[in-house]
Every structure is written in C-alpha cells, then in structure tokens.
Amino acid sequence: MSTRSSRIPIQRINWITSFFLAGTMLISLVGVPLYLWHFGIDFFQIALFIFYVYATGMSITLGYHRLYSHRAFEAKMPVRLWTLIFGACAFENSALDWVSDHRIHHKHTDHDEDPYDISKGFFWAHVGWLLVKLHPDPHMDNVADMRKDKLVMWQHKWVQLIAVVFGFLLPAGLGYAWNVWMGANGWVGALGGFLFAGVLRVVVVQHSTFFINSLCHTVGRRPYSGSSSARDSGLMAFFTFGEGYHNYHHTFQYDYRNGIKKFSFDPTKWAIWLLSKVGLTSNLKRVPVEKIVLAEMAEARRQATAQIEDGGAPIATKVSDHYDKMIEYLHHLSEGVTDSYHELEELVKTRAKTSRKAIKAYRAETRALLDHIARVGALKAQQSPA
C-alpha cells in the first residue's frame, strides 16, 4: 500500500452520508435537467419547490439554530412541531444531533474540537467534516435541556422516517395529485415533485447551511469581534434567511436576531417577531444596543492597536512625514474611542439610560476611527514593493 493511500482514513468515512450527499447532487445535476428537457415544469412544481425551501430552510434557522441551539426565544408546540418535522426534511440529522454539534462549534470555534473547524480548510468546513469523522461521536452531554423535550426525542427517534415521508414522498404525492387533477400524467407529476421539491431542494438548503460554516468563516467583515474567524456577509444572509451576519452571531449568540440593522435581510428574525404577535413565540432575547456599541468600539480599538504596532512595508522618504502624521492622528482617534468606551461601559454598569443621540455619536466616532485605519492600511499597501 502506498504512503498516500495509507493516509486515507477509510475506516472513518461516513459512507451513508457520503452516498446521500453525492447521490442527491448527481440527481440534481443530471436528473433535473433531463426531466426539464422531456417534461418541462409548471407553476405548481415551482411553488412546491419554493414552499419546501422556505419550510425546511427556516426550520433549520428558526428551529434547530435560534430556538434549540441558543434558546434565543421560546415557542409553543405548533412552532416546535413544525420546525422538527420540516427540519428533519432538510436531511441535516435530528435536532438533538445538530444542536450538539453546533454547541461544540461555538465552544471550540477555530480549534481542533470544532466539528467544522475552518482552519482545516474551506472544503472541510463546508462538507468534509460530514464525509469523514476525525473524532469519535460526541457523548452529547451538552443537550441535557433538549432531552427533557418529548417532541425533540420523538423526532430524534424517527428522524429518518419523518424525513423520507415528509421530504420525499409527500412532495411526490402532491405532484401526482396535481397532475391527475389537471388531467395530466400523474407519475410525471410525482417524479417532478420528488426531483424539485424533494432532491433539488435538499441540495439547495443543505449547501446554503454548509456555506455558513465555510464561506462565513472565510469572507466578510468582522465589526464586532476579531477573536474568531466568523464573518458578516450580507450576500449569504440573502441565501440563508438571515444567517449570514455570522460575526454578530458569534459575538452575541443568544440574540434572536442575526441582522440587527434596519436594512439587514433577516427573514428568520421577522418570522420570530411575527409569531410573537400571535402568541406562538415569546421571551425574545435581544442584546442591548449599548453592549453592541461597546463591542464595535472594542474591535475598532483592537484594529487600531494592531495597525500602530505593525510596522508594515518601508515608507518612502517623500511620504514618511505624511505617514507619521497619519499614525499620530490614529493615536488621537483611538484614545478618543477608548475614553468613550470607558464612559459607555460605566453607563452600562450603572444601568443608566443612554440616549439615541449619544449612541449615534459613539458610532460616528467609531466609524471615523475605522475609516482612518483603512486609510493608513491603504498607504502601507501603496508603499509595498510590486
């Protein structure tokens, strides 16, 4: 046996998961186009696909993630049952298993114990960790709270059956019934329902989830904390029902919101809020704006310190005076933000009310510091040898 082949951990390959992921992808890439070529697609199949994307995708984001993993809010039985049934249809395992992995991820982000540790590479964080198990299955001693929930344990016991019945057979049955009602071939409709709302939808929802573990730990901004690789991506928020604001989430994981700004695209947040208005969710947890601003200021100070301490590329003589002045001004802005940070920190400790005007001023001061950090960095980059 060659040295290279001996390194392949054959005994650790998760064969069932590997075949499922490869099989659904192959069917989506080959079977779906062939179906479209021979039979086309109608409004019902499109509507069924969209419904299942939203039902299963948001059952992961709203249910598995924000409700069960982080207890960011409380939910009545109809919401819990819905998210457990359609969460199973995402074929991302039971809520109990999913939450256990996710809580380990938050506890050990970017370290070896992290199930989808980005430091092992983009592919590993995206899907490799599902194909190969480097560590033995966890004892799941971090989900004692969920074990007390009878609905959760019911889903954990029957998750594969629920997934197949509601995720594959039901859309196929609905496609069959629709075509028969329209006077068309029922089996063509059943195949379409299975391919679009079943298989293709599973691939779309799964890889959207996987991109949070991979892309949102690789590309994007870190406005709240640079202590982990988690990043904010508005683009990924669009494809994951608001989960793309990942740096905020890792900094304040118990907030029911991921996108906290008015223009943030976070349908999961909106759904939780709307459900609270009809009494189906309650105790929605929000991080006070003062603590969010403190995190923004602390991160800006960290970046300023790093910029000052980093000598960077040699600065040409003709711009050295300008550079020195920029560093001096950077010191000045950083000291101002530091003073404001301590001022706001004291207000938070004493639970004094902070006005919107004051919050706006703190944020403007922080933005000014970040803008100047960017200008200093740009000057260093200009001076770097080609």
Q: How far apart are CA 321 and CA 334, in angstroms?
A: 20
Residues of the chain with pLDDT under 70: 1-9, 136-139, 311-320, 383-386
Q: How far apart are CA 94 and CA 143, in angstroms?
A: 12
Per the structure, the count of domains in the chain is: 2
pLDDT at 1: 40
pLDDT in tens, 225-247: 999 999 999 999 999 999 999 99
Do 242 and 127 belong to one domain?
Answer: yes
Tell me what pLDDT residue 22 has.
Answer: 97
In the prediction, which pLDDT does 5 show? 43
In this structure, are 183 and 202 located in the same domain? yes
pLDDT of residue 122: 96
Q: Are residues 97 and 162 in the same domain?
A: yes
Which three-class secondary structure state does DSSP give residue 13?
strand
Question: Which residues have C-beta within 8 Å of that of residue 326, sequence separation ≥ 6?
Answer: 372, 375, 376, 379
Identify the DSSP state of 314. Answer: P
Q: Determine if the pTM surpasses 0.75.
A: yes
Residues 276, 156 share a domain: yes
Q: What are 232's strand-pairing partners? A: 221, 245
Do 218 and 266 fall into the same domain? yes
CA distances to 38, 47, 262 from 186, rounded to whole Å, are 15, 17, 46
pLDDT of residue 3: 44
Same domain? For 174 and 88 the reply is yes
Residue-by-residue DSSP string for 366-383: HHHHHHHHHHHHHHHHHH
pLDDT tens digits along 80-137: 999 999 999 999 999 999 999 999 999 999 999 999 999 999 999 999 999 988 776 6
The reply to whether 173 and 259 lie within a common domain is yes
The residue out of 216, 249, 282 marking a domain boundary is 282
Same domain for 343 and 198: no
Q: Is there a single domain that holds both residue 248 and residue 295? A: no
Report the pLDDT value the prediction gives residue 4, as an integer from 0 to 100: 45
Question: Residue 91 has what DSSP assignment?
Answer: T
Give the structural domain span for 154: 3-282
